[in-house]
Amino acid sequence: MNEPAPGRRTALVVGGGIVGIACAHFLERRGFDVTVVDRDAIGAACSHANCGLITPSHALPLAEPGAIGMAIKSFFKRNSPLMVKPRLDPALWSWMWRFAMRCNEKDMLESGAGIHALLVSSMSLYEELVANEPVDCEWQKRGLLFVYQTAKAFDAYAELNDLMAEHFDEGARRVPGDELVELEPALKPGLAGAWFYEHDAHLRPDKLVDAWRALLESRGVTFREHCDVERFERTDGRCTGVIAGGETLRADEYVVATGALTPKLNEWLGCRIPIQPGKGYSLTMAHPEVEPKYPMLLPEHRVAVTPMKSAYRLGSIMEFAGYDESIRDSRLKLLTEGAAHYLREPTGSPVEEKWFGWRPMTPDSRPIVDRTPSMSNVTLAAGHNMLGLSMAPGTGRLVAEIVSGEEPHLAREPYAVARFA
Ligand SMILES: Cc1cc2nc3c(=O)[nH]c(=O)nc-3n(C[C@H](O)[C@H](O)[C@H](O)COP(=O)(O)OP(=O)(O)OC[C@H]3O[C@@H](n4cnc5c(N)ncnc54)[C@H](O)[C@@H]3O)c2cc1C
């Protein structure tokens, strides 16, 4: 690590995904000398080629009434966009049990409140960041369309939309099928309609990582790649260093932003972090000739469509299959075949990248942003589920507030690690 400037406190952030980068940003702003270490390249894991959507509209957790039935059905389906690979893994079954217990409206709304608070905070912090700093990440605030093929599913969403409006002030505009092609000419005629969340945004995630990193480097933050933290040294309830490749790295404060790999550090953190890798895929292509103006979700086929300035991306799928690194074409086909039901030109050519990422999934869809129970100078910032990009700045600010002992800008309780005790 760099020699700290005299009098400055030091912070070591383990994990250089979008969450670790956001933590480094807000710690540096509070006067810390910050180093970010990653076992791989910075931003090469789940923050690399996700769908790039920044969505205050996505307040609701995965555990909603009926979700457990869908998960069980997926045991018996070979190529489903939601897939749980049954296996003898106590951590998976314990996760599933906790998830199942939360598939009711009361818990859904409780989780939603915590998720939404971080989403709203993050949206305004992103707007400040892109307006005031040289962070070129193809930011566009055009909104997000939830497009439905069948009238049944389109109409059924009305109830959820009312709930979103009532509890989170996130109502969408209803766009009937006959007005849809006028709004978005890249869609095929004959679709049932769409719900339009006009305040969502999108960006290119790998560009965000690169640009934000460059900004932080210009302010003195150090980034170290291929530096795998294997364990923590602890004395009298404080961390005194982390061991990475035989080297001991020391700081005053430590932040653990290790995404889906966080449970691998459970032994050292002194708590059991119930995170499962939720594998998703994306396909990045050149722009199709008839490209959508708006990003879209196609909920009946579980596909997201992101027209970025420099490329076009289809993404999604949720597989609970452990730390599996394969990319099968049959899974990617779910994306292109799903999009083909809706879009006049669903794919572009050539394909620039086939990708997978492990989403850090908690049973209640809320991240863990809290001190560890065993070490008073170690803060967790992990478990951002399907929304880590959307929740990163708010998380970074909250982490910096916890570490500096400031009054937090959000209630801390929804993100406490003790909820899993
Ligand atoms: C297909 C797909 C689409 C998605 N779309 C969206 C979207 O549109 N909007 C949105 O908000 N979110 C989206 N997500 C979710 C989002 O990508 C994640 O929630 C987010 O990237 C998590 O960020 P992170 O920094 O916590 O984890 P990561 O990006 O995985 O970073 C964690 C880092 O920690 C490092 N690390 C782990 N262990 C160690 C160790 N022991 N020592 C050193 N380093 C370590 C890893 O190498 C990694 O770089 C999507 C995810 C997928 C898969």
Proportion of the chain above pLDDT 70, given as a percent: 96
> Average pLDDT of the chain?
95
Query: Which residues, in sequence order, are bridge partners of residue 158?
Result: none
Judge contact between 128 and 22, C-beta under 8 A. no
Task: In whole angstroms, give the CA distance from residue 338 to residue 302.
Answer: 8
- pLDDT-based confidence at residue 13 (cuts at 50, 70, 90): very high
45 lines ligand 1 (CB under 6 A): yes
383 lines ligand 1 (CB under 6 A): no
Question: DSSP per residue over 231-249, as a string?
Answer: EEEEETTEEEEEEETTEEE
Q: Stretch 137-150: mean pLDDT, rounded?
A: 98
Atom of ligand 1 nearest to the CA of 228: 42
Among protein residues, the one whose CA lies closest to atom 22 of ligand 1: 388
Is residue 255 over pLDDT 60? yes
Strands 173-176 and 82-84: unpaired
**pLDDT tens digits for range 268-305:** 998 889 999 999 999 999 999 999 999 999 999 999 99
How far apart are the CA of 362 and the centre of ligand 1, in A? 13
Residues 6 or more apart whose CB falls under 8 angstroms from that of 154 comprise 148, 177, 192, 193, 194
38 lines ligand 1 (CB under 6 A): yes
Q: What is the pLDDT of residue 164?
A: 93
Proportion of the chain above pLDDT 90, given as a percent: 90
Among candidate residues 54, 10, 161, the one with its CA nearest the CA of residue 384: 54
Among protein residues, the one whose CA lies closest to atom 10 of ligand 1: 387
205 lines ligand 1 (CB under 6 A): no
How far apart are the CA of 389 and the centre of ligand 1, in A? 8
Q: What is the pLDDT of residue 74?
A: 67
How far apart are the CA of 206 and the centre of ligand 1, in A? 11
Atom of ligand 1 nearest to the CA of 383: 26
CB atoms within 10 A of CB 7: 6
Query: Which residues, in sequence order, are bridge partners of residue 173?
Result: 196
**pLDDT tens digits for range 159-201:** 999 999 999 999 999 999 999 999 999 999 999 999 999 999 9
Give alpha helix (H) positions in 200-304: 205-218, 266-269
Judge contact between 120 and 410, C-beta under 8 A. no
How far apart are the CA of 260 and the centre of ligand 1, in A? 7
How far apart are the CA of 387 and the centre of ligand 1, in A? 9
52 lines ligand 1 (CB under 6 A): yes
Among candidate residues 280, 328, 397, the one with its CA nearest the CA of residue 23: 397
Is residue 1 over pLDDT 60? no
Among protein residues, the one whose CA lies closest to atom 26 of ligand 1: 259
- pLDDT-based confidence at residue 202 (cuts at 50, 70, 90): very high
- For residue 271, is it left (φ>0), alpha (ψ between -120 and 50) or beta? beta
Judge contact between 417 and 407, C-beta under 8 A. no
How far apart are the CA of 50 and the centre of ligand 1, in A? 9
Rounded (5°) CA angle 233-234-238: 130
Question: DSSP per residue over 76-105, as a string?
Answer: T-SS-SEEE---S-HHHHHHHHHHHHT-SH
19 lines ligand 1 (CB under 6 A): yes
46 lines ligand 1 (CB under 6 A): yes
Atom of ligand 1 nearest to the CA of 265: 41
Q: In the CATH scheme, what is the code of domain 62-89+137-200+276-361?
A: 3.30.9.10
Q: What is the pLDDT of residue 67?
A: 82
Query: Which residues, in sequence order, are bridge partners of residue 351?
Result: 285
Is the whole-model pTM more than 0.95?
Answer: yes
How far apart are the CA of 205 and the centre of ligand 1, in A? 11
- pLDDT-based confidence at residue 43 (cuts at 50, 70, 90): very high
Instruction: Starting at the earlier edge strand, list the strands of the sheet with 238-244.
Output: 229-235, 238-244, 247-249
Helix (H, G, I), strand (E, B) or coil at 351: strand
Kindly state the tokens that stand for 137: 């990440």
Q: Stretch 355-367: mean pLDDT, rounded?
A: 97
**pLDDT tens digits for range 59-72:** 999 998 888 877 77
Give alpha helix (H) positions in 30-150: 67-75, 90-101, 105-132
Atom of ligand 1 nearest to the CA of 306: 8
Q: What is the pLDDT of residue 270?
A: 87
Burial annotation 150-161 (CB, 10 A radius, 16+ → b, else e) = eeeebeebeeeb
353 lines ligand 1 (CB under 6 A): no
How far apart are the CA of 256 and the centre of ligand 1, in A? 13
Atom of ligand 1 nearest to the CA of 43: 49
How far apart are the CA of 326 and the centre of ligand 1, in A? 17
How far apart are the CA of 257 and the centre of ligand 1, in A? 9
